Chains A and B, each alone.
Chain A
Amino acid sequence: MTVRLETPQRREDHRDSRRWGARHLVAAGLGIVGIIALIALRATTAESGPSGLPDAAQDLLTLSTSVVIESLPFIVLGIALSILVQVWIPEAWMLRILPMNPWGRRAVISLFGMFLPVCECGNVPLARGLVRRGFTIPESMVFLVAAPILNPVTILTTHAAFGFDDGILVARLLGGFLIANVLGWLFSLHPEPESLLAGRFAEECRIDDGHRHGTRAEQTVDLFVRESSILMPALVIGALIAGGIQVIVPRDVLVALGSDPLFSVLAMMALAFVISICSNVDAFFILPFASTFLPGSIVAFLVFGPIIDIKMLALMRTTYSTRTLLRVTLVVGLLSAVLGLVVNFVV
């Protein structure tokens, strides 16, 4: 229970909520009619037979649509969890369970994914919520990097695909944990962590620092509007670029490089970057390649892919600055390549 103070803001809310009536119902009705109209439009246009688009354009649309449709539920889940963290869960809960020591804090944060089994695109809104809730920026990166790998769904699917063969599962989990913590440590050395954020997001954090407007329901709707307004264009554009590159770059170029210890690792990282597939299922995707590619390159794919790919960069750009993302890409890329090489030469 919280103590309710009668502030001018609250009084206004109160008056507002009393007026919750005809106008809101009409607006809600219009919203529903709008959605039905969209579905009706889709149903009628589907009857019109083949579109007559050239094959490549049609495939671009199909591929990009499939990235959007695949990511959509995870984005919604991520926004929902982010709202939960920011509006409904008392602040003290999340910060109380964390150790005081920065290494310990980051280590615990990198295991958050075990309780929040969202794949990487859903983690972006969640990480934004954590920063607004007082997590440091390097800590948000630790979460973003580790959570898609150290999460129950990913562990189950990777185990289902590879078992304990060639140390792929163990290397993926340990590698994800280590890379996340090294990255968090590196960025924690930054003198002005706020400059790591994208300008607009930093501004938003500064402005909504502390004071909140309206009832929890209003805050929920407001956050949904704001998060979707930032993430959805990024998702669609990331999906378009990912689809476009797939239509253009022949895949056999990548596959041809598969059996060289060094080039196989780089080729697999390039494939992971292009394909932008979700970490929960990437193990199944890469399984057919396991017969032609060395195990280290598979590990590099499984560690690099969840963190850095076209779709993720577009989504993360909503939160971090371009320079930050270049550095993250560089660090994660180098560490994944080293990890892949170690596995190739040791196992």
Chain B
Amino acid sequence: MWSSVQRWRGVALIGATSAVAVWLAASGQLVLYIHPRYILFTVTMAAIALVLVVAAVASAASRRRRDDEAPVSRGERALGLTAAAIAGAFVIGMLVIPPATLSTATAQQRQINATAADLDALDDAADADDATVARFTVREWSGILRQTSDLGFFADKPVTDLIGFVAPDPDDPENVFYISRFVITCCAVDAQPLGVPVHQPGWQAELPVDSWVRVSGEFGANPSESSLQPLVVLPDAIEAVEQPSEPYLF
């Protein structure tokens, strides 16, 4: 058993992960894990891997018993089997558990707006026309908020149809939530949570944490006493929406 586990564990793992990658790409969900610019590369290499897997299975039909396997101690054998079992269990998880985006648990753990995603946002916004401002995402707004708290700057710049998921403001979870998105440079591992604070007392009664919403409104001074954000969106409209097909910003 040891020698067939040792021989076939890699082929099984690489075949299963490549099959999952191909399916994710076909169903448009590869962007849940990696930046779109890698999709072609990933699918190409996964296809090559699958061809080699089929070749490996085919060649098994004529495989002679090889006497060149290195002798392995009992301890190493146990370690190898354990590693193969853990890896196998994980890959089965990849196969049967539905793909998902990162949740607010990670957003909180990584601290929303701990890093500035867009340092040019303020300059770009200063001379943007209304149509451009209306297209601003969480990335632009959070970049601007990081650099200015001058209310005058926001006078003619309303928030229009801003989409994101709901994450509570840790300093005033009753009254303020962040409309948030993860920004990704390479893959979900480096996802940085960004958010725009929204003041809506009692929001938790209607909006579940992690659900997706669309918000329109104006920026204003934050009425909350305990929240650390100087400016918040004072919403005119908040409506629940479906999770977008590309939940992350790139």
Contacts and interface: CB of A to CB of B under 8 A. Distances in A.
Interface of A: 12, 16, 19-20, 23-28, 30-32, 34-35, 38-39, 41-43, 45-51, 53, 55-56, 58-59, 61-70, 72-77, 80, 199-200, 203-204, 207-208, 213, 218, 220-222, 224-234, 236-237, 240, 242-243, 246-247, 250-252, 255, 275-278, 281-282, 284-285, 287-289, 291-292
A320 to B, nearest CB: 15
Listed residue (A42, A75, A200) with the most chain B CB atoms within 10 angstroms of its CB: A42
A251 to B, nearest CB: 5
Listed residue (A70, A218, A275) with the most chain B CB atoms within 10 angstroms of its CB: A70
B82 to A, nearest CB: 10
A207 B187 contact: no
A240 B88 CA distance: 12
Contacts of A213: 66, 68
Contacts of A225: 7-8, 10-11, 56
A16 B186 contact: no
A45 B183 CA distance: 28
A200 B72 contact: yes
A34 B8 CA distance: 14
B153 interface: no
26 contacts: A16-B62, A19-B62, A23-B62, A28-B55, A32-B54, A35-B15, A35-B54, A38-B16, A39-B22, A53-B97, A56-B105, A58-B103, A64-B90, A70-B187, A72-B18, A73-B41, A73-B44, A208-B68, A213-B66, A221-B56, A222-B59, A224-B52, A232-B17, A252-B110, A285-B185, A285-B186
A284 B37 CA distance: 14
A229 B44 CA distance: 21
A79 B87 CA distance: 19
A45 B14 contact: no
A28 B59 CA distance: 8
Contacts of A222: 59
B110 A251 contact: yes
Nearest to A248: B109
Contacts of B42: 69, 72-73
Contact of A63 (B54, B59, B188): B188
B106 interface: yes
Listed residue (B30, B55, B96, B119) with the most chain A CB atoms within 10 angstroms of its CB: B55
A281 B83 CA distance: 29
Contacts of A65: 33, 94, 99, 188
A70 B58 contact: no
A247 B70 contact: no
A291 B97 contact: no
A275 B98 contact: no
Contact of B33 (A39, A62, A74, A231): A62
Nearest to B119: A291
A289 B98 CA distance: 33
A63 B16 CA distance: 18
B151 interface: no
Nearest to A44: B96
A58 B100 contact: yes
A58 B7 CA distance: 31
A346 to B, nearest CB: 25
Contacts of A277: 186-187, 189-190
Interface string B151-173: 00000000000000000000000
A198 to B, nearest CB: 10
A184 to B, nearest CB: 27
B62 A42 contact: no
Given A24-B59, A67-B187, A288-B115, A229 B8 contact: yes
B45 interface: yes
Which 3 residue pairs are nearest across A and B when measured between Cβ atoms? A229-B10, A228-B10, A31-B57
Contacts of B64: 12, 16
Contacts of A34: 15, 57
B14 A232 contact: yes
Listed residue (A46, A75, A252) with the most chain B CB atoms within 10 angstroms of its CB: A46
Contacts of B50: 35
B49 A76 contact: yes
A27 to B, nearest CB: 4
Contacts of B84: 233
Interface string B192-228: 1000000000000000001000000000000000000
B10 A232 contact: yes
A76 B15 contact: no
Interface string B18-60: 1111111001001011110010011011101110111111111
B116 A242 contact: no
A64 to B, nearest CB: 7
B78 to A, nearest CB: 14
